[in-house]
């Protein structure tokens, strides 16, 4: 008998069959066994019907950076799942399904199980077949029953529902044990410190809380809504205001109003929402009101693939809104970075009084990674104006670094005039060419310090080699996985996209053969490299089918284009 050190299981079924809950319980159970767990999913934009799946990868020695895409076991809640994914099943794997489903399938490695019977016997509703199936799967894998049942119990809030699911899972587990010989590899329990299974969306929300966010607003949109759900759930506990706005035009303007009144405000959306916010983004910049916009990218253009991933909004985030103004665009590559950068986004927005856009994507937002410990982040308070007698407050005072004194309504004797029109130091409308010029220059002076920060924090490097694979955003995670099978390639991740860390990126890739991989059609990072570094990469790999790269794809790309490959 082997112990599974790198296990991948796929759970699939029609939307509404509890696929995600099943995946969550599987992931938590394996996490509690001491494995490093990664999960990702795919689902259609429907509530009932349509195929969806969760993939759970668990590694014993080392980090699960991403999916492998070759499941060791499949829990098929319908025939479609077996047919769709069976072809990628590993040789020694198994496809578990209900007897009734098995009858319709003519495939190898099928394990027919009396899942519906178990559910009936337990007096549970038919949907509970998912827990019977998961119980069976984890039973076959030799998991610890107690850890499984504990995870099941924690999944459901209502005691009665939890109880039924525990019963079903236990019966399923017993059935699975009987078929244990079908799988020659077993899950092993090892001692491990308490760890977290964190998705990108939650990490962004947590980072914002750590960064002092006190006002959050959003209009529901996939795949950003989980941020709203989480923050709405904890709003009382955290003492923050959460507002569901009537549209994205409203949400960003509410955030601007909230920030003007003194709250660290964050708004989350996806591409279509950011499109709607474009005008107000400029308003935040012109009024120098600090706001953070989280854009969870999905496939476009237009409605596109609402539930699928992409990196198509990079240039849009950098240029959105008319006119010219400084802004910051940051892109985390995993939940730890999402947590750090979400906090940092607030610090930067308030220190420099500029809009900051945090670019994530569906793959990062809704996949889960094992996090050992969240890094220390620090809320940095901005400098606030202290009223001086007989000195008139000037919201847009011309300063050396371009940052003007900030204060909120309610201070005796202080009048704050904030204006989306071009304005003078006091905030009054102006068309005076000399003042207009001074104000534009004042705003852009902030770039000096921001560019320094970008150069010092904007690029991360992993490994060594004379070939550099340059990526941004969630491609980092897949690339980390791919990198494990490569020598001579270093991974270069661009975290600050605006202002662009021109010098530090140039330094990192100097003398290297440069490869770039992006989840878009037009190679938007490459275009920034051309513009800022006057550099043409040796090869570019684009993916624009709504799916993240697979580690294999990146491996092949590196193999075809780099020296020193031993994969």
Partner 1 sequence: MVEKVFDTGRRPQWCPGCGNYSILAAVKAAFTDLALDPSEIVAVAGIGCHGRMTEYLNVNAFHAIHGRAIPVAVGVKTVNPNLTVIVHTGDGDAYSIGLSHLLHAARRNVGIKVIVHNNMVFALTTGQAGPTTPKGVKTRSTPAGNYEEPFNTILLALASGATFVARGFSDDVQHLKELIKLAIKHRGFAFIDVLQPCPTFYDLRQILKQKVYKLEKHDVTDFKAALELALESERIPVGVFYHVEKTAYEENLGSAIKRLSSVKEFSKIRLSKLLARFS
Q: Which residues bind to partner 1, rule: CB under 8 A?
A: 31, 194-198, 202, 206, 209-210, 212-215, 217, 234-241, 243, 245-247, 249-251, 253-265, 279-280, 282-283, 287, 371, 374, 379, 381, 408-421, 427-429
- Report in angstroms how near the CB of residue 453 gets to partner 1 at its nearest: 22
Q: Report in angstroms the alpha-carbon separations of 250 from 24, 271, 309.
A: 34, 16, 26
Instruction: Identify which of residues 103 and 421 has a Cβ nearer to partner 1 in the complex.
Output: 421
- Report in angstroms how near the CB of residue 253 gets to partner 1 at its nearest: 4
**Ordered DSSP codes for 458-501:** SEEEES--SEEEEEETTHHHHHHHHHTT-SSEEEEEE-EEES--
In the structure encoding, which two tokens stand for residue 391, read together?
Answer: 């000195």
Instruction: Identify which of residues 172 and 427 has a Cβ nearer to partner 1 in the complex.
Output: 427
Instruction: Identify which of residues 114 and 212 has a Cβ nearer to partner 1 in the complex.
Output: 212
Instruction: Identify which of residues 182 and 196 has a Cβ nearer to partner 1 in the complex.
Output: 196
Instruction: Identify which of residues 18 and 427 has a Cβ nearer to partner 1 in the complex.
Output: 427
Q: In terms of C-beta density within 10 A (0-12 exposed, 13-18 middle, 19 or more buried), how is residue 257 classed?
A: middle
Largest Cα–Cα distance in the chain? 88
Closest CA to 299 of 56, 93, 544, 64: 544
Q: In terms of C-beta density within 10 A (0-12 exposed, 13-18 middle, 19 or more buried), how is residue 15 classed?
A: middle
| Nearby residues of 499 by Cβ (< 8 Å), 6 or more positions away | 326, 328, 447, 450, 451, 454
β-bridge mates for residue 359, sequence order: 295
- Report in angstroms how near the CB of residue 418 gets to partner 1 at its nearest: 5
Instruction: Identify which of residues 20 and 215 has a Cβ nearer to partner 1 in the complex.
Output: 215
Instruction: Identify which of residues 368 and 490 has a Cβ nearer to partner 1 in the complex.
Output: 368
- Report in angstroms how near the CB of residue 86 gets to partner 1 at its nearest: 32
- Report in angstroms how near the CB of residue 371 gets to partner 1 at its nearest: 8
Instruction: Identify which of residues 89 and 210 has a Cβ nearer to partner 1 in the complex.
Output: 210
In the structure encoding, which two tokens stand for residue 429, read together?
Answer: 């409308």
Helix axes 115-122, 159-178, angle to 10 degrees: 140
Instruction: Identify which of residues 195 and 503 has a Cβ nearer to partner 1 in the complex.
Output: 195
Closest CA to 407 of 216, 258, 260: 260
- Report in angstroms how near the CB of residue 37 gets to partner 1 at its nearest: 11
- Report in angstroms how near the CB of residue 150 gets to partner 1 at its nearest: 11
- Report in angstroms how near the CB of residue 243 gets to partner 1 at its nearest: 7
Instruction: Identify which of residues 107 and 234 has a Cβ nearer to partner 1 in the complex.
Output: 234
Instruction: Identify which of residues 14 and 262 has a Cβ nearer to partner 1 in the complex.
Output: 262
Task: Locate all alpha helices (DSSP H) within 288-319, ordered by sequence.
Answer: 314-319
**Ordered DSSP codes for 8-23:** EEEEEEETTS-HHHHH
- Report in angstroms how near the CB of residue 501 gets to partner 1 at its nearest: 29
Q: How far is CA 481 from the centre of its chain?
A: 17
- 296 vs 303: CA distance, rounded Å: 14
- Report in angstroms how near the CB of residue 154 gets to partner 1 at its nearest: 8
Contact 541, 554 (CB under 8 A): yes
- Report in angstroms how near the CB of residue 182 gets to partner 1 at its nearest: 31
Q: What are phi and psi of 161, to 5 degrees?
A: -65, -45
- Report in angstroms how near the CB of residue 140 gets to partner 1 at its nearest: 25
In the structure encoding, which two tokens stand for residue 355, read together?
Answer: 């809009």
Closest CA to 538 of 484, 467, 455: 467
- 254 vs 501: CA distance, rounded Å: 32
Instruction: Identify which of residues 322 and 437 has a Cβ nearer to partner 1 in the complex.
Output: 322
Instruction: Identify which of residues 123 and 387 has a Cβ nearer to partner 1 in the complex.
Output: 387
- Report in angstroms how near the CB of residue 212 gets to partner 1 at its nearest: 5
Query: H/E/C letters for each residue in 318-352?
Result: HHCCCCCCCCEEECCCCHHHHHHHHHHHHHHHHHH
Q: What are phi and psi of 371, to 5 degrees?
A: -120, 125
- 385 vs 397: CA distance, rounded Å: 11
Instruction: Identify which of residues 287 and 504 has a Cβ nearer to partner 1 in the complex.
Output: 287
Full strand arrangement of the beta sheet holding 467-472: 459-462, 489-494, 467-472, 513-518, 539-542
- Report in angstroms how near the CB of residue 408 gets to partner 1 at its nearest: 8
Contact 192, 159 (CB under 8 A): no
């Amino acid at each position: 008998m082997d112990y599974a050190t790198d296990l991948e299981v796929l759970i699939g079924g029609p939307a509404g069959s509890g696929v995600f809950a099943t995946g969550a319980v599987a992931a938590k159970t394996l996490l509690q066994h001491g494995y490093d767990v990664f999960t990702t999913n795919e689902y259609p934009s429907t509530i009932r019907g349509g195929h969806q799946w969760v993939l759970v990868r668990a590694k014993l020695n080392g980090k699960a950076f991403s999916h492998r895409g070759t499941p060791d076991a499949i829990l098929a809640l319908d025939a479609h799942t077996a047919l769709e994914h069976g072809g990628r099943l590993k040789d020694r794997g198994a496809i578990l399904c209900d007897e009734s489903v098995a009858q319709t399938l003519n495939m190898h490695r099928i394990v027919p199980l009396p899942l519906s019977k178990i559910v009936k016997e337990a007096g549970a509703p038919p949907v509970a077949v998912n827990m019977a199936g998961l119980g069976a799967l984890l039973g076959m894998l030799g998991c610890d029953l107690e850890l499984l049942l504990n995870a099941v119990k924690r999944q459901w809030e209502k005691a009665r529902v939890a109880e039924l699911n525990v019963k079903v899972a236990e019966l399923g587990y017993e059935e699975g044990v009987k078929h244990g010989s079908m799988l020659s590899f077993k899950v092993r329990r090892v001692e491990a410190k308490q760890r977290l299974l964190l998705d990108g969306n939650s990490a962004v929300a947590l980072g914002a809380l750590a960064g002092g966010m006190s006002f959050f607003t959003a209009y529901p949109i996939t795949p950003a809504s989980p941020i709203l759900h989480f923050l709405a759930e904890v709003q009382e506990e955290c003492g923050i205001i959460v507002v569901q706005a009537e549209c994205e035009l409203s949400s960003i303007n509410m955030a601007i109003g909230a920030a003007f009144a003194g709250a660290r405000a964050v708004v989350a959306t996806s591409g279509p929402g950011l499109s709607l916010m474009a005008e107000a983004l400029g308003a935040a910049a012109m009024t120098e009101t600090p706001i953070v916009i989280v854009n969870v990218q999905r496939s476009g253009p237009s409605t596109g693939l609402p539930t699928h991933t992409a990196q198509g909004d990079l240039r849009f985030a950098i240029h959105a809104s008319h006119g010219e103004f400084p802004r910051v665009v940051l892109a985390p590559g995993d939940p730890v970075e999402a947590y750090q950068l979400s906090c940092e986004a607030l610090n930067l927005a308030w220190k420099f009084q500029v809009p900051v856009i945090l670019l994530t994507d569906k793959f990062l937002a809704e996949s889960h990674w094992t996090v050992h410990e969240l890094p220390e982040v620090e809320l940095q308070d901005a400098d606030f104006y202290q009223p001086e007698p007989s000195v008139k407050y000037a919201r847009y005072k011309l300063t050396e670094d371009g940052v003007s004194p900030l204060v909120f309504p309610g201070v005796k004797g202080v009048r704050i005039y904030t204006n989306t029109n071009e304005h003078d130091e006091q905030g009054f409308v102006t068309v005076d060419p000399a003042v207009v010029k001074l104000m534009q220059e004042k705003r852009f002076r902030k770039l000096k310090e921001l560019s320094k920060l970008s150069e010092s924090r904007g690029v991360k490097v992993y490994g060594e080699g004379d070939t550099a694979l340059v990526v941004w955003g969630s491609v980092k995670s897949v690339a980390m996985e791919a990198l494990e099978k490569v020598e001579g390639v270093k991974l270069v991740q661009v975290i600050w996209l605006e202002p662009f860390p021109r010098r530090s990126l140039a330094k990192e890739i100097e003398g290297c053969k440069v490869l770039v991989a992006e989840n878009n059609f037009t190679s938007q990072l490459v275009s920034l490299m051309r513009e800022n570094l006057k550099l043409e990469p040796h090869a570019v790999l684009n993916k624009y089918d709504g799916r993240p790269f697979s580690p294999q794809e990146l491996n092949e790309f590196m193999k075809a284009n780099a020296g020193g490959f031993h994969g």
